[in-house]
Structure 1
Amino acid sequence: MTALRSAAPAAELARAKVNLALHITGQRADGYHLLESLVVFPQIGDRLSVVTSETLELVVEGPFAHDLQGPTDENLVVKAARLFADAAGLDPLNLKMTLSKRLPVASGIGGGSSDAATALRLLEDHTGIYLDDDRLKSIALQLGADVPVCLSVQPQLMRGIGGEVSPAPQMPKCGMVLVNPRLGVSTPEVFKALQNRKNPTLPRFPDSFESLSNLTGFLTLCRNDLQQPAIAICPEIGDILQALTAEDDIVFARMSGSGATVFGLCETGREMEMERSLRKRRPDWWIASGRLA
């Protein structure tokens, strides 16, 4: 057994994974879809903390805790902890982990994947045992195709079925608003409704996006190929898009992932005002805001 380096609690924001663009470029024989996606991580998310305890346990709290189904042992955070313990030679791994679930579940912003990746980062810092990049990525892939991209909160490019990850160009400082209608959208149903599974790839990227207008100009050349199929299943997504594009301060809006969350981009400092304005008019929606960089 290897002793833990620290008994002090550690906590981190498990940031939402937002697809600024998502192109479905093909489908493998095994059914997995091929994609290209530009992914960012705003300062919006769940919160995960770890502290040394007598056993390994996970406590889930927060506004969306009740939406997590199944036993706690099946949560990706617990699975991440066990895989990390095996790789690091920690037997047993005695930790109390507390997950404050602030992001809607199954909402197209990678909450569970980000929780798992954040757990791996926290466990490295908490134990002082840092796995090599290949080993850490291998663990992440065992947890899910979206987990590797969440290992870093820097802008990323995803390719293949999601596991091929590389750094994206530098992003400008800007604000982001996330809006969800509090309605579930089945990812398999969205893919089933997708008529064309072989679409053009992402355009060529610049070295960096020096301003918000540079970024939004690029995004107009991109798509989320799942947006229209998702709207056909959940028309409320279209309502959110319409509401965001009607705001003078929102310069670009699009659905993230397979839905039903929509993001809106604005100048830095305007995101909180947008959140407050939307909350007053649509208290039935989940709305959060934060900065992109």
Structure 2
Amino acid sequence: MEQGIFVSYRRQDSQSAAGRLTDRLKDLLPEVSIFRDVETIEPGVDFVEAIERALRSCGVLIAVIGPRWVAAAHDDGSRRLDDPNDYTRLEIATALKRGDVRVIPVLVEGAQMPGTAELPDDLAALARRNAIELSDKRWDFDVSTLVETLRKALGLPEAAPDRPSAPAPAPKGPPRRAWWIGGGIALLAVLGILGEDNGGMAPAPEMSYAPPVQTPARAPVAPSAMTAAPAGRVDLTGLWRDPDGGMHEIVQHGSDLVFRGRTPDGFVTGTGTVSGHQGQTTYMFNGYPLRSTFVVAADGQRMDVTIIDPATNERDATQLFRVR
């Protein structure tokens, strides 16, 4: 597969976000050629020919979609998307026709994924592509999630760690650390999972994480503590941090929880339920099934978590602290 990345965007809609994203991708993927029209096309070169040539050498097209992407209009008021010669339409339609190009919609500035009815026929397949959102509040984190997806799509090796470490022997089971906590976890396409159509997100990538902070060993949470939860429902939606430096974003819908993420030891994805101030989860850690139970503090700012290996009944304990 070719190694290039084509960044498609509308200047009327998301020029600033596309430029910011391109600069960050160049920093994080220096080995990859990145095409962005305003920087790459030389003066006097036919724009359409340059686009076609660039697309022939790319393995991924990123369609940057802002809140004005669908409704952007010519001076006469007609929609640009309805113009067969619209550059953005040409870029994406050409990429969609090629079976060897991954087209990834990237939503910025709070944009929603357009539906099939809003798109011309040659872009209808775009509405069925899983999208990823880049939020200003968590820009670096969301971009790192996108980069992991790009590395997989282009067959690139994982990024080298910032500091060397001695190789650890292969574990027989899951590593003995905070299995449930995600170090650098992105928000799931939870609305899609719970039945709302928001365009979804890209398949779960392995995400980057902050180097763990050394902390003293924690004593396991006693089972009796699970019965001491105060009454009343809490909302766990938000960003949480664990003592090892990981961050976790949970989305709660009623009593249901959905989460995914990556610890320093691997990828985690699962679901759970909460009742009052206590709950439970089931999930996969690098393909290994685990469970957990947790108790939320009365002020809703801390969770005491017990991790359970159902195969051996071994247990570990950790805590989560609300960030926002």
TM bin, normalised by shorter chain, reads: under 0.3
Q: More helix by proportion, 1 or 2?
A: 1
Larger radius of gyration: 2
- Higher relative contact order structure (alpha carbons within 8 Å, sequence separation ≥ 6): 1
TM-score by length of 1: 0.27
